[in-house]
C-alpha cells in the first residue's frame, strides 16, 4: 500500500490496534474481537497465498452470511484478491454464467449448495480448488485447511483504486453484469453513511440481508469502519432478529419489504423491546415507516442508490420530506439530464447522472457497455428523477432502456423474464411489467398472447419460469389477452400495457 492509499484492510488493522478488545462480529454462539478478527484474516490470507492465489485473482462465494464470509472479505482485501459473491437464490444456469464469466481460482460453498456446484463442476475447469465454508466433504476441503499457518507473508501492495468485489446486477439484455467496486468505492460509501447517520463505535448492525447484496455489504462495512459491532444472521428470521435486537442493543439495519412489517408485527405479539434502534434504512411503504417511527426511537432513512454507485447517491430522513430520496451525498456530484445530456432545471424530470469517488470501475469484461454508461464523463444510472426547489431528489421511474422491477429489493429486468417465457411453446408474445404489491412493494406481472390453439394455466406458466431462473424473478400475476398493443413502429407499447394492465 502506497503513501496515499487506504483500503478495507486498513480499517481492519486500525480496529485491531485501537479497539482490540471490543467485539467486532457475533454469529450464533460465536463472538470475536477486532484483534481476533484481524488474526483470522491474516491466517486466511496466508492460506490463500500458499494455495496459489495472487493479487487480482477472483474468489467465488456461494454461501449465506457467517463469520467465515466476513473473514473472506477481509483476507481478499489484504492480498488484493477480488471477491465474487453469488446470489444463492440464483438458478444453476445463472450461477454457472457468473463463475464462467469471472473464472475464480477458488470457490467457497456452503454445504447446502455443494450438490449444485458438484453438478456444475464438469464445466468449471478453471477452478483450481473447492472449499466448504465449514466442514469438508468430497471435493470440498474444509475452510480451516486455509487457516493452518500463523506466519506472516510478504506484504502485498494493494491500492485504494484496486478492485475489491464484483457484484452482479440484474440482466438488462438477458445476462447479468458484474459491477466492479474498488476499496475506495466502498470507503466512500462508508463515509457517506458514517456522516449522515453519525455511526460510531457504539453502534450495532444487524446483518440479515445477504452479503452478496450491496445494501448489507455497505452497511456492514460502514459499521466495521466506525469500529462498531456486526451481528450476523445467516438469513432473515423475524423471531431471531428480534431476539438479537433486544439482547445486543441493535441500533441499525437495512430493510427491504416485507421485513420491517414482519418485525413490527412480531414485536407487538411477543412484546419485544425495540428501544435500542436508531436507524432503519431502505425501501418501505409509508404506513409501515410511520408505525416504526411512532413505536420506536428510530428514524427511517430513504435514499437513492444502486450497486454501480457503491449503494448510495442520496440520503434523507423520511419524516423530514416524506416520499423524497433526500439530498445528494457530500462526496457525490449529481446532474439530471435530458436525452441529449443537457442539464434540466429544478422541477423537470431527467436521467440521474453521477460523478465522484463512489462510482464503480465499470462492468467486468464489458468494455462497450462501460463506455456507454460513462458517456460524457458521467455515470448514467438509467433512472429518472427531479429536484425540487429545496434540492431534494424525487425518484420518477426508469428510462425506457432500463425497465426494472424490484420485488422485495431484488432487481429484475423484464427482458430476462420475457426471454424465458418465450421459450414456452404455447406463448407467442409477452410483456413483463411491475405492479404495486402490498407485501413486496412491487411484483412481476406477465401480459401474454398465446399461439393459436394453445392454452396454459397461470400457475403452470409461473412455475415454468421459476424452474429456469431465480424464483424471485417469476411472475406473481399473469394476464392472457388477444393482442399486445403496438407503437407506430410495430414494437410492443410497454407504456400502454402499464396503463391498461398495471393493476395486480
- The domain spanning residue 467 has which CATH number? 3.30.300.30
What is the rounded average pLDDT for all residues in the chain? 94
Residue 118 phi/psi, 5-degree rounding, is -60, -40
**Residue at 461 is within a domain:** yes
How many domains, the chain? 3
Same domain for 319 and 456, yes or no, is: no
Lowest mean pLDDT among 36-50, 395-409, 426-440: 395-409
- The pLDDT tens digits of the residues spanning 459-481 come to 999 999 999 998 999 999 999 99
**Which phi and psi angles does 189 have, rounded to 5°?**
-60, -40
The answer to whether residue 367 is domain-embedded is: yes
d(CA 269, CA 450): 47
DSSP code per residue over 150-162: ----PPP---TTS
Does residue 14 surpass a pLDDT of 90? yes
13 shares a domain with 81:
yes
Residue 400: its pLDDT value, please? 65
Q: Is the pLDDT of residue 171 over 70?
A: no
Task: Render pLDDT for 259-291 as a digit per residue (tens, 0 to 9).
Answer: 999 999 999 999 999 999 999 999 899 999 999
* Same domain, residue pair 461 and 387: no
Indicate whether 376 and 488 sit together in one domain: no
CATH number at residue 326: 2.30.38.10
Tell me, yes or no, whether 175 and 63 share the same domain: yes
Residues 6+ away with beta carbon under 8 Å from 262: 238
- pTM of the entire predicted model: 0.86
Beta bridge partners of 303: 315
Percent of the chain residues past pLDDT 90, beyond the cut: 86
Return phi, psi of residue 380, to 5°: -90, 115
pLDDT at 174: 62
Q: Which among 161, 183, 205 is the end of a domain?
A: 183
Q: Is the pLDDT of residue 82 over 90?
A: yes
Domain ranges, residue 105: 8-183
Handedness of CA 74, 235, 197, 170 (dihedral sign): positive
Please tell me the distance from the alpha carbon of residue 134 to that of residue 116, in angstroms, as a whole number.
17
**Is 150 in the same domain as 63?**
yes
Domain annotation covers residue 241: no
Tens digits of per-residue pLDDT, 251-266?
999 999 999 999 999 9
Whether residue 422 lies inside any domain: the answer is yes
Residues 95 and 169 in one domain: yes
Domain boundary among 393, 426, 447: 393
Is 494 found in the same domain as 362?
no
Q: Which of 360, 393, 426 is the last residue of a domain?
A: 393
DSSP for 404-473, written as a single string: -B-GGG--B-HHHHHHHHTTSTTEEEEEEEEEEETTTEEEEEEEEEEPTT----HHHHHHHHHTTS-GGG
Q: How far apart are CA 89 and CA 8, in angstroms?
A: 27
Same domain? 15 vs 133: yes
Does the pLDDT of residue 173 top 70, yes or no? no
386 and 345, same structural domain? Answer: yes
Residue 401 has pLDDT above 70, yes or no: no
Same domain, 361 and 414: no
- Identify the three-state secondary structure at position 390: coil
Q: Supply the pLDDT for residue 406.
A: 83
pLDDT tens sequence across 106-115: 999 999 999 9
Within a domain: residue 218?
Answer: no
Asked if residue 175 is part of any domain, the answer here is yes
| 413 domain-assigned | yes
CA distance 252 to 209: 12
Does residue 377 lie in a domain region? Answer: yes
Are residue 385 and residue 419 in the same domain, yes or no? no
Amino acid at each position: 500500500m502506497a503513501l496515499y492509499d487506504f483500503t478495507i484492510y486498513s480499517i481492519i488493522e486500525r480496529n485491531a490496534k485501537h479497539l482490540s478488545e471490543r467485539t467486532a462480529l457475533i454469529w450464533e454462539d460465536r463472538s470475536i474481537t477486532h484483534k481476533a478478527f484481524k488474526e483470522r484474516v491474516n491466517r486466511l490470507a496466508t492460506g490463500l497465498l500458499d494455495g496459489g492465489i495472487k493479487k487480482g485473482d477472483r474468489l467465488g462465494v456461494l454461501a449465506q452470511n457467517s463469520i467465515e464470509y466476513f473473514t473472506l472479505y477481509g483476507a481478499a482485501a489484504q492480498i488484493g484478491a477480488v471477491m465474487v459473491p453469488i446470489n444463492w437464490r440464483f438458478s444453476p444456469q445463472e450461477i454457472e454464467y457468473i463463475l464462467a464469466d469471472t473464472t475464480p481460482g477458488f470457490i467457497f460453498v456452503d454445504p447446502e449448495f455443494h450438490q449444485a456446484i458438484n453438478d456444475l463442476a464438469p464445466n468449471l475447469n478453471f477452478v483450481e480448488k473447492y472449499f466448504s465454508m465449514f466442514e469438508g466433504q468430497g471435493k470440498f476441503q474444509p475452510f480451516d485447511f486455509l487457516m493452518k499457518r500463523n506466519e506472516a507473508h510478504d506484504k502485498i501492495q494493494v491500492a485504494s483504486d484496486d478492485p475489491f468485489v464484483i457484484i452482479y446486477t440484474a440482466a438488462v439484455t438477458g445476462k447479468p453484469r458484474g459491477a466492479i467496486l474498488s476499496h475506495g468505492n466502498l470507503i466512500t460509501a462508508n463515509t457517506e453513511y458514517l456522516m449522515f447517520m453519525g455511526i460510531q463505535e457504539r453502534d450495532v448492525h444487524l446483518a440479515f440481508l445477504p452479503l452478496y447484496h450491496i445494501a448489507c455489504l455497505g452497511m456492514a462495512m460502514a459499521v466495521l469502519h466506525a469500529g462498531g459491532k456486526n451481528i450476523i444472521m445467516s438469513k432473515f428470521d423475524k423471531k431471531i432478529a428480534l431476539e438479537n435486537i433486544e439482547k445486543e442493543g441493535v441500533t441499525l439495519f437495512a430493510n427491504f419489504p416485507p421485513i420491517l412489517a414482519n418485525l413490527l408485527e412480531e414485536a407487538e405479539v411477543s412484546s419485544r423491546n425495540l428501544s435500542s434502534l436508531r436507524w432503519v434504512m431502505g425501501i418501505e411503504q409509508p404506513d409501515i415507516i410511520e408505525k416504526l417511527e411512532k413505536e420506536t426511537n428510530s428514524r427511517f432513512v430513504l435514499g437513492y442508490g444502486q450497486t454501480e454507485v457503491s449503494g448510495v447517491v442520496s440520503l434523507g430522513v423520511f419524516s423530514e420530506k416524506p416520499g423524497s430520496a433526500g439530498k445528494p451525498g457530500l462526496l457525490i456530484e449529481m446532474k439530471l439530464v435530458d436525452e441529449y445530456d443537457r442539464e434540466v432545471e429544478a422541477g423537470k424530470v431527467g436521467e440521474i447522472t453521477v460523478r465522484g469517488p463512489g462510482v464503480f470501475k465499470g462492468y467486468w469484461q464489458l468494455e462497450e457497455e462501460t463506455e456507454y454508461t460513462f458517456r460524457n464523463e458521467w455515470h448514467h444510472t438509467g433512472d429518472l428523477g427531479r429536484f425540487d426547489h429545496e434540492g431534494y431528489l424525487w425518484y420518477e421511474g426508469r428510462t425506457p432502456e432500463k425497465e426494472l422491477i424490484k420485488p422485495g429489493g431484488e432487481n429484475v429486468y423484464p427482458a430476462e423474464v420475457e426471454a424465458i417465457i418465450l421459450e414456452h411453446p404455447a406463448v407467442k408474445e409477452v410483456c413483463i411489467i411491475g405492479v404495486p404489491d402490498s407485501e413486496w412493494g412491487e411484483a412481476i406481472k406477465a401480459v401474454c398472447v398465446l399461439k393459436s390453439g394453445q392454452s396454459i394455466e397461470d400457475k403452470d406458466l409461473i412455475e415454468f419460469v421459476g424452474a429456469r431462473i431465480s424464483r424471485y424473478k417469476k411472475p406473481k400475476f399473469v394476464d392472457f389477452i388477444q393482442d399486445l398493443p403496438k407503437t407506430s413502429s410495430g414494437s410492443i407499447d410497454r407504456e400502454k400495457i402499464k396503463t391498461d394492465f398495471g393493476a395486480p
